[in-house]
Structure 1
Amino acid sequence: MWKFGESLLGREEDRDDNLLIDESDELCSLSPLQRIYAFAVSMAVGLIFMLLSLVVIAKPIKFAVLFTMGNILAVGSTAFLLGPAQQGRMMFDSVRVYASAIYIGSVILALICAILIHNKLLTLLVIIIEICALMWYSLSYIPFARRVISNLFIRLFDTEI
């Protein structure tokens, strides 16, 4: 039975969601196939940068710049598939807001430590934090993965017998 607020698209919320999708499609001039290609290229270039960073691992500043740029390209590649607004909403969802904030902060700090401060030890420390935050952020997309990892660490590092 038709109720107030419903339309041919269904409920009013469904119509609003479809309008948002239509608006984002109008804002982006890439076709769905071009978005997939852009995602693949961005992800591949990001992975290449991260692999190249291993070549210069003895030089922490060059390593940090290459690794962080590769990291940004790889994580940002999903914006081609989802759109930047949707990715932002997903990154700052209550489940992953802390991991996202720590990740973004560590990316910025890694670049500052590498490019401006030139402190190798501090740069490597921030890169380790960046990697851990990215892993914790990525685990938030796998159901129960964070709980399993947390329980594993508790069992491994529990000092009580």
Structure 2
Amino acid sequence: MDKLRRVLSGQEENEELGLTAQVILDASTLSYSTRVKWFVICFAGGILCSIMGTALLFLPNGLKLFAVFYTLGNIAALASTCFLMGPLKQLKRMFEPTRLIATIVMLLCLVLTLCAVFWWHKKGLAIIFCILQFLAMTCCLLPSISFKLLSYFPTT
């Protein structure tokens, strides 16, 4: 609709933007700078939760707090990528055949970490699931983030 308004009002589109940037900017109602800012805020919040959870690990009964904060941190990091490409596109990419195993492992480990702490009371298992969360998140999200951020920089 915005494209139609621009054409009818006589405003020309910015020809300097690449095709990928135009498609992404047209598909989102948020500006590029707003999306990047919220990505950074959400991702930094996720990292902060994970670090805070790790610091709480050494307190008495800290394993429960660690598992909750670490899992919340990973969920926040996962949600942050939705600001870069949109939630539907992010879900489609996560469930592509090349990332399907990593996505399933990540989601399963998010749940199993909390189960290991609250229902099974297995500390070692919770730590293993947290490590698997980290590895699966890295395999699942790092290619999306790096590709998306690099696609906005002009090539020389």
Instruction: Tell me the TM-score range normalised by the shorter chain.
Output: 0.5 to 0.7
* Aligned pairs (5 A) from 1:126-141: 126-138=129-141
What's the CA shift for 1:128? 2.1
What residue in structure 1 maps to residue 53 of structure 2? Answer: 53
Measure, in 1, the Cα distance between the counterparts of 2:87 and 2:110. 18
Measure, in 2, the Cα distance between the counterparts of 1:69 and 1:139. 18
What residue in structure 1 maps to residue 18 of structure 2? Answer: none
What residue in structure 2 maps to residue 106 of structure 1? Answer: 109
Mean Cα deviation higher: 56-65 or 68-77: 56-65
Measure, in 2, the Cα distance between the counterparts of 1:83 and 1:116. 35
What's the CA shift for 1:137? 2.7
Larger radius of gyration: 1
Moved over 6 A (4+): none
Residues 76, 113 of structure 1: alpha-carbon distance in 2 compared, 3 angstrom cutoff: same
Q: How many residues align?
A: 122
Fraction of identical pairs, as percent: 28
Residues 21, 115 of structure 1: alpha-carbon distance in 2 compared, 3 angstrom cutoff: farther
Alpha-carbon contact 2:25-2:32 (below 8 Å) kept: no
Alignment gaps of 5+ in structure 1 = 1-17, 144-161
What residue in structure 2 maps to residue 33 of structure 1? Answer: 33
What's the CA shift for 1:123? 1.4
Q: Output the TM-score relative to the length of structure 2.
A: 0.65
What's the CA shift for 1:112? 2.6
1:62 and 2:65 aligned: yes
Alignment gaps of 5+ in structure 2 = 1-22, 148-156
Measure, in 1, the Cα distance between the counterparts of 2:139 and 2:31. 32
What residue in structure 2 maps to residue 81 of structure 1? Answer: 84
**Among 77, 84, 93, the residue aligned to 2:96:** 93
Mean Cα deviation higher: 39-48 or 130-139: 130-139
Mean Cα deviation higher: 48-57 or 128-137: 128-137
Alpha-carbon contact 2:78-2:141 (below 8 Å) kept: no
Measure, in 2, the Cα distance between the counterparts of 1:45 and 1:109. 22
